[in-house]
Chains A and B, each alone.
Chain A
Amino acid sequence: GQQVMQIPQYQHVQEGEDFTTYCNSSTTLSNIQWYKQRPGGHPVFLIQLVKSGEVKKQKRLTFQFGEAKKNSSLHITATQTTDVGTYFCAGRDTGNQFYFGTGTSLTVIP
């Protein structure tokens, strides 16, 4: 069946360091979304990517959708303590099924 895996599962960084999480799907995705979930909170939408090779930026966050539309990445430059949380990718496959990834939990050490 469809699987959307994220690596790493956990990441600890010093404040100011960069952070990247990778999302890999076993099948081609029609779109990819990224969500952030703070501890004790609910997932909050960050961005959606649709096109092959698409790159979008939001301040210190850079999102990329792979050429084959089977993988994606989220890169945070110069992390801050406010970046703490779990980052989930989520995608819709060509059969219109919607899946969340396994998540990457980010801890930022001040």
Chain B
Amino acid sequence: GAGVSQSPRYKVTKRGQDVALRCDPISGHVSLYWYRQALGQGPEFLTYFNYEAQQDKSGLPNDRFSAERPEGSISTLTIQRTEQRDSAMYRCASSPETGTGVFQYQETQYFGPGTRLLVL
């Protein structure tokens, strides 16, 4: 597609339910990043993948959060037993570069529109 897409755009759920957020990166992009962004703040790194391999999950808040990218393309961020504090905008970004520290390459990240999650 033309850009990064995310679904659903809005998700309202009850506390304790599981949610799955989907990210469809730009075709051919190697890296895929997940962020959480609270209103008025910068994106907070959660995790990222190079191809299908999860490179860094140090930003995941706790073990209720998990992510996968089984075929190196679409990724799913899953939040189990949601809590009200999980309410936020969840953003996905993809990049044509691997983000492995080869810094001479342009590590442009292309962001999707985000999924607004509200946990009641």
Contact = CB atoms under 8 A, between A and B. Distances in A.
Nearest to A50: B103
A21 B84 CA distance: 33
B101 A43 contact: no
A42 B45 contact: no
A103 interface: yes
Interface stretch (A55-63, A74-82, A91-99): A91-99
B106 A44 contact: no
B107 interface: yes
Interface bracket on A: 20 to 34
A100 B101 contact: no
A101 interface: yes
Q: Classify chain B's interface size.
A: 20 to 34
Chain B contact residues, majority secondary structure: loop
Contacts, number: 58
Contact of A103 (B41, B48, B108): B41
Interface string B79-117: 000000000000101000001110110111111111000
Given A100-B44, A102-B42, A48 B106 contact: yes
Nearest to A4: B42
B18 interface: no
19 contacts: A33-B107, A33-B108, A42-B112, A43-B43, A43-B91, A43-B111, A45-B108, A48-B106, A90-B42, A92-B101, A96-B99, A96-B100, A98-B48, A98-B99, A100-B43, A100-B44, A101-B42, A102-B41, A103-B41
Interface of B: 33, 35, 40-45, 48, 56, 58, 91, 93, 99-101, 103-104, 106-114
Interface of A: 30-31, 33, 42-45, 48, 50, 88, 90, 92, 96-103, 105
